Homo-oligomer: A and B are copies of this chain.
Amino acid sequence: MTQQISIFDTTLRDGTQGEGISLSADDKIKIAQKLDALGVHYIEGGNPGSNSKDIEFFKRVKSLNLNAKITAFGSTRRKNSSAEQDSSLVRIVESGVPAATLVGKSWDFHVHTALQTTLEENLAMIYDSFAFLKRNDMEAIYDAEHFFDGYKHNPEYAIAALRSAQDAGADWIVLCDTNGGTLPNEIHEIVARVRAELSAPIGIHTHNDCELAVANTLAAVGAGATQVQGTINGYGERCGNANLCSIIPNLQIKMNYSCISSEQIAQLTNVARYISEIANVHMPVNQAYVGNAAFAHKGGIHVSAIMKDSKTYEHIAPELVGNKQRILVSELAGQSNIISKAQELGLDVNANNDKTKQIIDRIKDLEHQGYQFEGADASLELLLREAFGGETKEIFKLESFKMLVEKNAGQMVSEAIVKINVDGETVYTAAEGNGPVNALDNALRKALMQFYPNIMNIHLSDYKVRVIDENDATAAKVRVLIESTDFDNTWSTVGVSSNIIEASWEALVDSIRYALLNMAKVESQAIDTRERLGLVNH
């Protein structure tokens, strides 16, 4: 029988301590629903007494009837007081959630320095607070802050702090490496010793300050911890909390523990990316398991081996975590990568013909100018289709555009005028926008709408600018990456220029060309299907 490990997610609480992370009540509700679908067992929502966002979250989350236990966070009672008189403990009980996590001290240094009270009073603070939660029929989880540092300095006192919580009825004792400075072998040894001293089930809560949070979590589980606390994408203060997106597949796929179902683990990549979008934090491409480059191959030799057998350079099948294999195109990779990318697109390509050599030279030259196709699949596809004779109908031809931005007496105005030619017909139109790129986008769509009404279904979902040669500052070249979506698909395009407006225009045009080519494809596939089903008269 495989051992069950409880997954305790604290993205909504400890995760929001990360630099640049701020979640509205609405964001928190969306994330809680996604976490629940992933199958985590506990969702720590925040501190119901701390601010209006968390209060709103706890109110709204109850009506969702999630499977996961929603958990409220707080501290042990104030010194020299009682639990009943502690307004923040009272608010936890009143929040109506089934479980609460209280953080408390277990390191004598912290009791003296941060709390500024006696060691005995701290033990009483722990006991009283957990007894209060249990009197109010809540599941009660003790987060023993700085446990490992405390244990190293004063093991008797650190264990006494845990015992206070256990004696008061705490359901879980969670050992926290709050400062993230402990090593895996220390974690293993200390967790094993605590297990021998206590009867309550043990949890583990680690931080990534030594880039060891995942390893430390696995070491604790190996020593008998059965609850794992962490966050999606490892969000959290300083270097972040333990990353559940790595811990769950490590425990379940590699170590044969049971956390969530295999259907749920196959949603992991989607969950990680969704939450990074909501949190508005850029996800590192090289993130383990769920990153966009986690199964991306660039080296020419690796790519040719991968094409023989994926297992040669992949430790698991990417589909297990909902990710997928990618072949990167770059100057290092040589032509085998470009050829396999073209084959992926179903293009008729041959390593030895002149066209292939020409397109490889063209891509190398564009990369040299600052283009980057690794993050702009749609622009690359357009280039390859042009080279290998796929569908590349010229949607329109630009004759000119003009863009005016004016600020006067606090008022901003942005206008764009475009003159394009569609199938020999000249269209000359103008539009306003909230900003220059929006004005250009509006004017271009307005000009194309009469020919391609579907264009109104596409929308730009992300817009990024990167200065390529920083030595030249605002006079330097910039690379614009645009991500677009029609809600079913998402594609990315690139433009490069020393003029941000020109680079944006280029990426915008690629996005629209790509969308219209694919819409045409989808429509013709739909006709094929109807033909096969006999729904079309010839």
Cβ-based interface call for A400 (8 A): yes
Q: Tell me whether B414 and A499 are in contact (CB under 8 A).
A: yes
Given A238-B286, A400-B408, A405-B501, CB of A211 within 8 Å of CB of B214:
yes
In Å, the complex CA distance between A339 and B460 comes to 40
Given A113-B308, A375-B20, A435-B478, CB of A499 within 8 Å of CB of B412:
yes
* Interface segment, one of A34-42, A164-172, A174-182: A174-182
Chain B residues contacting A210 (CB-CB under 8 Å) are: 214, 246, 249-250, 254, 288-289, 315
Chain B residues contacting A315 (CB-CB under 8 Å) are: 179-181, 209-210
In Å, the complex CA distance between A375 and B250 comes to 34
CB distance from A179 to the nearest CB of B (A): 4
Q: Tell me whether A18 and B286 are in contact (CB under 8 A).
A: yes
In Å, the complex CA distance between A297 and B19 comes to 9
Interface residues of A in 433-456 (CB under 8 A from B): 433-438, 441
Cβ-based interface call for A285 (8 A): yes
Cβ-based interface call for A55 (8 A): no
Cβ-based interface call for A49 (8 A): no
Copy number in the complex reads 2
Chain B residues contacting A466 (CB-CB under 8 Å) are: 280, 464
Chain B residues contacting A314 (CB-CB under 8 Å) are: 179
Q: Tell me whether A298 and B437 are in contact (CB under 8 A).
A: no
Q: Tell me whether B286 and A239 are in contact (CB under 8 A).
A: yes
Interface residues of A in 73-120 (CB under 8 A from B): 75, 109-110, 113-114
Chain B residues contacting A17 (CB-CB under 8 Å) are: 298-299, 332
Q: Tell me whether A286 and B208 are in contact (CB under 8 A).
A: yes
Cβ-based interface call for A404 (8 A): yes
Interface residues of A in 292-319 (CB under 8 A from B): 292-299, 301-302, 305, 308-309, 311-316
Q: Tell me whether B298 and A246 are in contact (CB under 8 A).
A: no
In Å, the complex CA distance between A291 and B331 comes to 29
In Å, the complex CA distance between A179 and B238 comes to 29
The 8 A CB mask of A103-147 against B (1 = contact, 0 = none) is 000000110011000000000000000000000000000000000
Interface residues of A in 211-258 (CB under 8 A from B): 211-212, 214-215, 218-219, 222, 234, 236-240, 243, 246, 249-250, 254-255
A330 to chain B: closest residue by CB: B22
Cβ-based interface call for A475 (8 A): yes
Partner of A288, one of B208, B219, B398, B412: B208
Partner of A461, one of B180, B286, B293, B470: B470
Cβ-based interface call for A191 (8 A): no
Partner of A218, one of B184, B249, B302, B309: B184
In Å, the complex CA distance between A416 and B51 comes to 45
- Give the interface size class of chain A: 35 or more
Cβ-based interface call for A356 (8 A): no
Q: Tell me whether B473 and A184 are in contact (CB under 8 A).
A: no
Cβ-based interface call for A274 (8 A): no
A14 to chain B: closest residue by CB: B299
Cβ-based interface call for A372 (8 A): yes
Q: Please report A residues at the B interface, Cβ cutoff 8 Å.
A: 16-20, 22, 51, 75, 109-110, 113-114, 178-181, 183-185, 208-212, 214-215, 218-219, 222, 234, 236-240, 243, 246, 249-250, 254-255, 277, 280, 282, 284-289, 291-299, 301-302, 305, 308-309, 311-316, 328, 330-332, 367, 372, 374-375, 398, 400-409, 412, 414, 433-438, 441, 459-468, 470, 473-476, 478, 497-502, 505
What are 28 A-B interface contacts by the 8 Å CB criterion? A16-B332, A22-B332, A179-B315, A209-B294, A210-B250, A210-B288, A210-B289, A210-B315, A211-B243, A211-B288, A234-B286, A236-B286, A237-B296, A237-B297, A237-B298, A238-B295, A239-B294, A284-B284, A398-B407, A402-B407, A403-B405, A412-B501, A434-B476, A435-B499, A435-B501, A435-B502, A436-B500, A464-B465
